[in-house]
């Protein structure tokens, strides 16, 4: 009798394990089918229909500012983000920074160099790279979405893509990138008020989620 109960208990445990395995597999399949889950966003930074989020990275780093003359006064100006993006399992996904886009000639006389400086993401495994820009009106600080003291949520359009040296192409299909769920990163309110402050730098910690979109299949 005792042996029968033990066998029944083992059989029930095996059934539970099988059902859990099937549930996890089904969930993974559904996630793959429907793509990355994107949170609600302001209307002006929504990605147009015909594109699907295929990758998300959780960014940790700094927004880097330098004090410069601005109008009749002085202001901190962003000169580069410096961040690492991670997957949900904490594995490194990409690095994020500013760099010259090899596909765009520079037309800004204030910038030294023959290529336009753009926001850049480089895959940490195959070094495929994309460059993107924020178009006018595609940035939001709407308090219904953006936390107090956080950098804006933005929609960026990819304006350059390049495979890695061995043909890696993880990022090259990307057409749009959203920066969402931001925390921190705003320029300091002090330290840039006079000529003596020009050149001061501030490295402000921030976090953000970056969603990468490609054309829907």
Q: For residues 156 and 34, give the distance between their C-alpha atoms in angstroms, rounded to a whole number.
A: 22
Task: Specify the pTM.
Answer: 0.83
Q: For residues 192 and 213, give the distance between their C-alpha atoms in angstroms, rounded to a whole number.
A: 37
Reported as a single tens digit per residue, the pLDDT across 138-166 is 999 999 999 999 999 999 999 999 999 99
CA-nearest of 158, 143, 148 to 183 is: 148
pLDDT of residue 8: 45
Rounded mean pLDDT, 163-182? 97
User: CA-CA distances (angstroms) from residue 55 to 8, 88, 99, 165, 212?
Assistant: 44, 11, 22, 22, 5
Task: Tell me the percentage of the chain whose pLDDT exceeds 70.
Answer: 84
């Amino acid at each position: 009798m005792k042996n029968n109960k033990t066998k029944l208990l083992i059989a029930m445990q095996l059934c539970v394990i099988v059902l859990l395995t099937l549930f996890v597999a089904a969930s993974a399949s559904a996630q793959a089918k429907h793509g990355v889950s994107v949170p609600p966003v302001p209307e002006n930074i929504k990605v147009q229909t015909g594109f699907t989020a295929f990758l998300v990275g959780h960014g940790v780093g700094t927004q880097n500012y330098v004090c410069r003359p601005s109008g009749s006064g002085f202001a901190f100006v962003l000169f580069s983000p410096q961040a690492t993006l991670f997957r949900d399992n904490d594995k490194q996904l990409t690095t994020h920074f500013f760099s010259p886009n090899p596909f765009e000639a520079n037309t800004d006389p204030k910038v030294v160099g023959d290529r336009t400086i753009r926001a850049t993401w480089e895959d940490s495994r195959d070094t495929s790279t994309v460059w993107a820009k924020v178009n006018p009106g595609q940035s939001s600080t709407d308090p219904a979405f953006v936390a107090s003291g956080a950098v804006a949520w933005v929609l960026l359009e990819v304006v350059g893509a390049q495979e890695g040296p061995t043909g890696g192409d993880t990022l090259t299909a990307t057409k749009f990138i959203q920066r969402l769920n931001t925390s921190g990163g705003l320029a300091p309110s002090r330290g840039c008020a006079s000529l003596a402050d020009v050149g001061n730098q501030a490295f402000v910690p921030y976090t953000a989620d970056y969603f990468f979109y490609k054309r829907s299949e």
